[in-house]
Amino acid sequence: MLKIAICEDVDIQYKILEKYLKVWALKNNITIHLVHYKSSEEFLFNLDENMDIDILILDIQMKEMNGIELAKKLREKDEEIAIIFVTGVSEYISKGYSVGAINYILKPLKEEELFDSLERAYKKIKQLKEKKESLKVITDKQVVKIRYSDIKYFVVYSHYVHIELLNKKITYKKRISDLEEELPKTHFLRCHRSYIVNLHFIKSIEKESLTLDDSTIIPISRGKREKVLELFMNYFDI
């Protein structure tokens, strides 16, 4: 699902955007959730709630704080949200791109222009999501991007990390402490000084070990069992 915020102080313009967005979503089989703000100040007041927004469609000409000023403040907190500017004048174009906007659309809005901007924004969002859900590994021979969902576990021997994947193994030089920092703690846990496991593949947990779906047995360090159990239970509550 895409969460899209529209910051527009003219109701008729909001209604036009809402209509076009619903048509685009239906055409592309995408579920969207729309939220509407009538001023930059209202958006900023709700900023904590807005940190999960994927796309912001932002009018530039608004009372008091304009859209450019809002975008600059937003970029201090979030560099990834896709911003699409809409306005009735062209004088702000250069300033609009200075905050990394996807596009700058002049009113009156044209459906095809908005659709093109939404496609570009959606592509950017998918690329960012894919990047967040994968691990970049540099071996002696190549650079490999591995999806987290393909990783069963990591084990370290003599300063080398061995990655056990669904269909192969990869070995590269890495400190396990550095690797641990790179991985999302919501999906991976370090259960032993030499092992990091993908929570998704854990079948059961015993006193001193855990068992994966493929029957692989991995040791649990003394004192880590309670933490392992806690993370394992929380994982299935996500």
Check residue 237 and give its pLDDT.
55
**Structure pTM?**
0.64
Confidence class for position 141, pLDDT limits 50, 70, 90: confident
Query: What are the two backbone dihedrals, phi and then psi, of residue 110, each rounded to the nearest 5 degrees?
Result: -110, 130
The pLDDT value given to residue 236: 64
Question: Does 19 have pLDDT greater than 70?
Answer: yes
How far apart CA 86 and CA 89 sit, in angstroms, is 9
Residue pLDDT, tens place only, 143-170: 888 999 999 999 999 889 999 999 899 9
Provide the CATH topology of domain 2-132: Rossmann fold (3.40.50)
Q: For residue 16, what pLDDT band results from cuts at 50, 70 and 90?
A: very high
Q: Determine what percent of the chain falls in helix, strand and coil, rounding each to the nearest 5.
A: 40, 30, 30
Give residue limits of the domains in the chain: 2-132, 134-235
Q: With H, G, I as helix, E, B as strand and everything else as coil, classify residue 45.
A: helix
pLDDT tier for residue 238 given thresholds of 50, 70 and 90: very low
pLDDT tops 80 at residue 86: yes
For domain 134-235, the question of CATH label 3.40.91.50 is answered with no
- 184 three-state secondary structure: coil
217-219 and 209-212 as β-strands: parallel, antiparallel, unpaired? antiparallel
Q: Does 9 score more than 60 pLDDT?
A: yes
CA pair distance 32, 47, nearest whole angstrom: 19
pLDDT tens-digit readout, 87-97: 887 776 666 56
The answer to whether residue 139 scores a pLDDT higher than 90 is no
